[in-house]
Amino acid sequence: MQDALRTYLELALGLTEASRKTVQKVVKDIGARSGATADQARALTSELMSMNAANREALVKLVRFEVDRALGAVGLATAEQVSDLTARLRELERQLAAHGRVTNMKRTLGHSATALHALMTFYPLQDRVVPFLGARATTLFAHAISAKTDCLICSTFFRRILIESGEDPEALVLDEREQAVVEYGVQLVRDPNAVSDSLYGRLEAFLTPTQIVDLTAFGALMIATNVFNNALRVDLDAYLEPYVGPDTDGATARQHLPR
C-alpha cells in the first residue's frame, strides 16, 4: 500500500510521465486495498491523468525558465534569442540588397525583425501607388504627411527627392489632382475622422475605390514611420543633412535606442 501511495503522489506531482495504463494500475491497487467502487476508481483515474499532465507542463516551464535564466547569467543566448537575432539580420540584409543602404531608422527597427518587416511594407505599398498616382504626386503626398508630423528624417528624405528632381520644396506648383492628394495627406495627420465629403469627392473624381484604399494605407504607414522616428528620436542620416529645410537646424535630441 505504501509503494502504491508513493507512486500515486509522484504521478500527481508530475514527477513521472504517466500513461493511462500506469494510472489505472496504481488506482486499481489502491482501490483494492481501500474498498473503492468501480465508479470511484474511474473518477480517480481521470483526475490523476489531468493532474499529471498539468503538473508536468508546469514543471517543464519551470525548468525552461531556470535554464534560460542560468544561460543569461553566464552570457549565453537561448535558442529563441539566436532565432530572433538571425531573423533580424536576414531582414536587414534583405533591406540592404533591395535599397542599397541600411539607414538609421532601419538599424533601430533592427531591434525587432517583426517591426522592421512591418514598416518596410511601405515599399510594396509605394509600388502600388506610383503607377496610378505618378512618382511626383506620390512624393508630394508622403512629403506633406511627413512635414505635418514634423518628422525630420522623413520630410528631409522626400525634400531630397524633390530637390534632386530640380524642384524647390519651398515653391511647389501643384495641379488640381496633386493639391487634392496633398490636402488628403495633411488631413490624415490632422484628423482622419474629419476627412470631408468634399475632399473625398475630389479624390474620387480621379481615383478608383481600390486606389483610394491603397493611397490611404500608404499614408497610414507613412504616419506610422513618422511616429516611430519621432518617438525614438532616430538620428538624421548624414547623407540627408545637406537637404534639411530652412525652418530647422537639423538638430535632434539624443536617440532613445542604440542603432
The DSSP string of 155-180 is HHHHHHHHHHTT--TTS----HHHHH
Right CATH for 121-243 from 1.10.1060.10, 1.10.10.10, 1.10.275.10, 1.20.1290.10: 1.20.1290.10
Residue type, 221: L
C-alpha grid cell, residue 94? 534583405
**Per-residue tens of pLDDT for the chain, all 259 residues:** 445 444 544 444 444 445 555 645 655 665 555 555 556 556 655 665 565 555 556 545 555 555 565 555 555 556 665 566 566 556 555 655 555 567 889 888 888 878 888 998 999 999 999 999 999 999 999 999 999 999 999 999 999 999 999 999 999 999 999 999 999 999 999 999 999 999 999 999 999 999 999 999 999 999 999 999 999 999 999 989 999 988 765 444 455 555 5
Is-above-0.75 flag for pTM?
no
Nearest 5 degrees, angle CA 186-CA 187-CA 191? 130
Nearest-angstrom CA–CA distance, 229 and 252: 11
Cell numbers 481501500 correspond to what residue? 34
Give domain limits for the chain: 2-73, 79-117, 121-243
DSSP the chain: -HHHHHHHHHHHTTSS---HHHHHHHHHHHHHHHT--HHHHHHHHHHHHHHHHHHHHHHHHHHHHHHHHHHHHTTPPPHHHHHHHHHHHHHHHHHHHHHS---HHHHHHTT-HHHHHHHTTHHHHHHHHHHHH-HHHHHHHHHHHHHHTT-HHHHHHHHHHHHHTT--TTS----HHHHHHHHHHHHHHH-GGG--HHHHHHHHTT--HHHHHHHHHHHHHHHHHHHHHHHTTPPPPGGGGGG--TT--S--PPPSS--
Nearest-angstrom CA–CA distance, 219 and 123: 12
Helices 209-231 and 122-133 cross at an angle (nearest 10°) of 140
